[in-house]
Amino acid sequence: MNERSILVVAHAHRGDTVRAAYRVVTALRAAGATPVLATEDRHELTSADPFFEDVAVLGADVPVDAIELAIVLGGDGTILRAAELVRDGTAPILGINMGHVGFLAEIERDDMDAAVARVIDRDYSVEERMALAVRVKDTDGRVVYSTWALNEATVEKASRERMIEVVVEIDGRPLTSFGCDGMVVSTPTGATAYNFSAGGPVIWPGVEAIAVVPLSAHALFARPLVVAPGAPVAIELLDRTDGNAMLWCDGRRSHDLPRGARVVVRRSSRPVRLARLHPSVFTDRLVRKFHLPVSGWRGADS
């Protein structure tokens, strides 16, 4: 059997995360697997505990396409970083929530040891989540930047005191133009993130759709939209925009947008893969994560 390489993604900012990483690395080694850390993580963890000094490094020691699975110790931000780390491979991501809401995480920290045992036994399923392909074009139509997003791509004003003027295009046709603080283009996975905070709809993960949500728009028609996944969404910065804007993807990757820039967002051909240990109903996840009141429910119809 080929040697198994498991990526462990964790920041060393909290003592409980360092201790959790120690337990995971120890369990993987005991099972004959090779634990792997990103360069930044190994540096931070080694600063907290020399135990991590000889852990293999992603890229330098183990290529990303050799990673079998990524175990993530943290909240949604750490899971998004893990998705970035394994983007060039096929490894699914298993999130163990060490933070607060942890909407993308599969389990809580109390179940960590059992989760690692199931990873070792390959006792998990894989769920594919739609991602976004994002391109920025200049006024001559040349692609000057390209990236991707799991949660959302946002076009935002760069200066607090300025707003941006945009025209929104859906499926190759202009829809409307207005001044605003920005635009959020979200996947169903990101529907409970920035999209949710901006007043966008909650979209069940099984629904293939893209949400388009204006931020503080100065317009009569500036409602959140839900469009088909095959419909490209384009946001153009009009010449009358007073100042520059920024493109952000998942809050991690950014690019400056001058006047006239065109941001095209469409469904990516490559999904993000999440490891699942238990079959779950998204309704239950919403209730649990947001502490929604359900008292008085008499039970579902048989």
Residue of 76, 121, 171, 256 marked catalytic: 76
Closest CA to 71 of 82, 58, 84, 55: 82
In a domain, 296, yes or no: no
Q: How far is CA 191 from CA 1, 101, 177, 217, 224, in A?
A: 40, 14, 23, 19, 12
**193 in a known ligand binding site:** yes
Q: Find where tokens 């983007």 sit.
A: 87
For the domain that residue 75 is a member of, what is the CATH number? 3.40.50.10330
Is 215 within 8 Å of 235 (Cβ atoms)? no
The reply to whether 10 and 110 lie within a common domain is yes
**15 in a known ligand binding site:** no
What is the Cα–Cα distance from 174 to 257, expressed in whole angstroms?
Answer: 20
Name, in order, each residue with C-beta under 8 angstroms of 171's C-beta and a sequence gap of 6 or more: 227, 228, 231, 232
Residue 76 annotated in active site: yes
**What is the domain range of residue 18?**
5-129+272-290
% the chain with pLDDT above 90: 81
| pLDDT at residue 64 in the model | 97
**173 in a known ligand binding site:** no
The reply to whether 154 and 110 lie within a common domain is no
**280 in a known ligand binding site:** no
If one counts the domains in the chain, the total is: 2
The reply to whether 206 and 261 lie within a common domain is yes
Question: Is 289 or 302 the better-scoring residue by pLDDT?
Answer: 289
Quick: pLDDT tens for 233-282.
999 999 886 678 999 999 999 999 988 999 999 999 999 999 999 888 89
% the chain with pLDDT above 70: 97
In a domain, 299, yes or no: no
In a domain, 297, yes or no: no
Q: Is the pLDDT of residue 1 over 60?
A: no
**2 in a known ligand binding site:** no
Quick: pLDDT tens for 20-36.
999 999 999 999 999 99
Q: How far is CA 199 from CA 80, 82, 94, 191, in A?
A: 22, 27, 29, 10
Quick: pLDDT tens for 278-294.
888 899 989 988 899 99
- The overall pTM is greater than 0.75: yes
The reply to whether 156 and 233 lie within a common domain is yes
